[in-house]
Amino acid sequence: MPRSASLESETACPQHRKGAWFGPHGLPHPEGLHGALAGIRRWAARWLVGVAAGVLAACGGGGGDAVPAPPPAAVLHPVGGQVSGLAGVLVLANGTRGEWTITASGSYATQVAQGESYNIVVRTQPTGQTCLVENGTGVVAGPVTNVLVRCTTNTYAVGGTVVGLAGGLTLRLNGTADLLVTIDGAFRFALAVPHGSTYSVAVQVQPLDQFCEANSATGVALAPVTQVRVTCRTIDVPPPPPPPPPVAAAPLGLGITYGAKALNFSWLPATHATSYTVHEDPDGAGPLAAAQIGTTATTALAYGVPVLLHQRLNATYTVRACNISGCSAPSAPVAADMVQAIGYFKAASTAAEARFGNRVALSANGTTLAVGAYGEAGNTGAVYVFTRTGSIWSQQARITAPGGEANDYFGNAVALSADGNTLAIGADGESGDQTGTFAVMPPSNNLASSSGAVYVYSRSGSTWSQQAFIKASNTFAFDLFGAFVALSADGNTLAVGAYNESGDLTGAHGNAAFASSGAAYVFSRTGTSWAQQGYIKAANAGAGDFFGIYLSLSGSGDTLAVGAFFERSASAATPADDSLQDAGAAYVFQRTAGVWAQQAYLKAPSPLALDRFGVAVMLSGDGNTLAVGMDGDSSDHTGVYVVPPASNSLALNSGAVFVYTRAGGTWQPQAYLKASNTRTPHRFGNNLAMSSDGNTLVVPSYRDNSAATGFNGNQADTTAADAGAVLVFRRTAGTWAQQAYVKAPNTGSGDRFGGRVALSGDGNTLAVGASTEDGGSNGIGGNQADESRINAGAVYLY
């Protein structure tokens, strides 16, 4: 065939060619497939060199050979699905036909022509993850959406090697997973840890006689962990401790013996006990709960009763046995006999007429007690100091005046600072004519009989030394300077009474015109040096008033109360009146910037002759509560009154006490107190003692004639003349009430128990003097039945 014919024939429209490999729709004919490739090559060459117009015309129905048309465009479909668990960058590919990057879980797709095959594979996966393809191959016949790519974080086993093990070993991974290892060699935990997470292997349980230590045991897992090394070595192990003992049984045989204001407990040993606790129920069957008061490893405990004894009259005590397993039930309760706990104090060498206890003073915490015995050695006098250590009282010192002489009455007045380290002692019979203050004792003389003096002592450790010898600035015979002394809490202010002083002026000087008008002197201490600060007279000074018979200072020393129990005015409104014999008065002075001035002049609401209002005065620590004794009151009332009842004279010299309170410099009466057993001639209120807070007031009836003993006994009894008693009152929210009726444990006629009283600042210790008690025993806790030393005197501690 000619070359031109062959070209025409081969370039004609396929559908017009006889025997062509194209079918009727331009697709390959099944029977011509064997020559398909060759035909395509020939067609492509001829089409490129053919004339487009001729070909197009021929294809429109003309004759001759035509160039074939290009194949129709391919149909594309998405091929993809979902990626899950991805934590990084993922690269996928469709075989070798291209790849794409995915950075987050979710759907994805690529385009593949219909009829073509696909093969979705992972080219790159995130570090620490494994990504697997599901349903990743096939032939495209339409959209493909089920090709899933699941990515999971790699996990790694943790393990290592154990060496030296002899027994059972438990290892713990990350505080939760335990693995028991019984032999040396490799180990691996069942729990795998995620890529990038920390791991920590620790020894949880090791053999009793071995010490096992894990090394290379912590880190971050980036591959399987195999380097943990546990090394065990044998150690010496003591035998296991014995099992804990059983709880001890409650102790048996609890008993009490007594000391001065102290209880001494003892009991039988309890099996298995290593210690004991003692408990106090303060009101026994009452509502108050028991509390532990001590612990000991022995079978005995000494306990100083920390409150006034009458506050524990119903108390019961128990003991428990303890060990590491706990404490036993309490023992059977035992009640204490508080009468036996009353302290009984005597001089170290008791002498008749010593008048031991004529004055008493206590430190604020009740651990130092000073006792005057002005009658010792022919009224030369002495002062005894006792101290408490733990629950034990002992004599610390016996103090006598340097150069003391008969009838000096050294110890007729005593006062202590709050800490107990400063002691003032009055000797109102001292007869020197000196004036002023002395650090060194001046030469003794007797040129001013009974002018009086005061000695000041200080304590360092347990040693007392004289600090000053003090005389009035206007010394006269028989002034009785030092008949009463009072100290501020810090011991730096000293008030001294000279009730027989005879000046008639109120200024800094006096004269002898008004016999026994009385005066008070105030001294102040700077460092260790004393100087007189004030000479104080009543604004209405009169002969025989006995101003200064009793003194009291507030804690700061800025308020001073002075009694004048023979003052004669008929009312506070008429201070110059002298018509009411021995009615009495009380005065309050205030110090401002070192200058003293009278603040108040107090009289009984309805003064009567011989009432002796002001026979005793007592201030609270803040100076705002004042009690005034009136031991000549003769009414027969009993109890506590806000407004005094109408007066009568049915109980001559039974006595009474008025309580005043101060607000803004003004004093108002708060209560009128009578004894619960008012009777002639008890002299209730002859002296006083008050706690620093002003809420506890102690009032003696030193001529009470009941033979009762101890606490709250028979007040109606009258068989022990002048035996004496003490009544304790308590203020709660401004209301006063009697709390106790207190007697000596060895009540005796004529003892005058309560002749002087002292109360510690905290209100928890009470000392009662009985200077005419006749006991012959010595020291503390002697034989109370011995009455072989007339008027030797005693002090009782509650």
Answer whether 372's CB lies under 8 Å from 411's CB.
Answer: yes
Percent of the chain whose predicted confidence (pLDDT) is above 70: 90
Paired sense of beta strands 225-234 and 158-163, if any? parallel
Answer whether 90's CB lies under 8 Å from 124's CB.
Answer: yes
Predicted local confidence at residue 65, as pLDDT: 53
3-state secondary structure of 622: coil
Find, among 753, 659, 727, the residue nearest to 308 by Cα.
Answer: 727
Strand ranges inside 355-442, DSSP E: 356-362, 368-373, 382-389, 392-399, 410-416, 422-427, 436-438
Taking the chain, what is the end-to-end CA distance rounded to the nearest angstrom? Answer: 156
- Architecture of domain 255-335 in this structure: Sandwich (2.60)
Distances from the Cα of 251 to the Cα of 241, 303, 330, 397, angstroms: 26, 18, 8, 41
Predicted local confidence at residue 505, as pLDDT: 66
Predicted local confidence at residue 68, as pLDDT: 63
Provide the CATH topology of domain 76-153.
Answer: Immunoglobulin-like (2.60.40)
Per-residue pLDDT of 122-147, as tens digits, reads 999 999 999 999 999 999 999 999 99
3-state secondary structure of 295: strand
Find, among 654, 666, 673, the residue nearest to 602 by Cα.
Answer: 666
Q: Where in the chain is the domain with CATH 2.60.40.10?
A: 255-335
- Architecture of domain 343-797 in this structure: 7 Propeller (2.130)
Predicted local confidence at residue 72, as pLDDT: 79
Predicted local confidence at residue 63, as pLDDT: 43
Q: Which residues of the chain have pLDDT under 70?
A: 1-68, 505-513
Q: How far is residue 609's CA from residue 172's CA, in Å, rounded to a whole number?
A: 98
Strand ranges inside 537-665, DSSP E: 550-553, 559-564, 585-592, 595-602, 613-619, 625-630, 639-641, 656-663
Find, among 494, 490, 481, 598, the residue nearest to 537 by Cα.
Answer: 598
Out of 3.30.1330, 2.60.120, 1.10.10, 2.60.40, which CATH number does the structure's domain 155-234 have?
2.60.40
Predicted local confidence at residue 173, as pLDDT: 96
Predicted local confidence at residue 659, as pLDDT: 99
Answer whether 166's CB lies under 8 Å from 210's CB.
Answer: yes
Strand ranges inside 71-147, DSSP E: 76-84, 90-94, 99-102, 106-113, 117-124, 129-134, 137-139
Token code pair at residue 262: 């102290």
Answer whether 414's CB lies under 8 Å from 432's CB.
Answer: no
Per-residue pLDDT of 167-226, as tens digits, reads 999 999 999 999 999 999 999 999 999 999 999 999 999 998 999 999 999 999 999 999
Predicted local confidence at residue 3, as pLDDT: 34
Cβ-based burial of 511 (10 A; exposed 0-12, middle 13-18, buried ≥19): exposed
Predicted local confidence at residue 604, as pLDDT: 97
HSE, CB side, 13 Å, CA atoms: give it for residue 374: 23
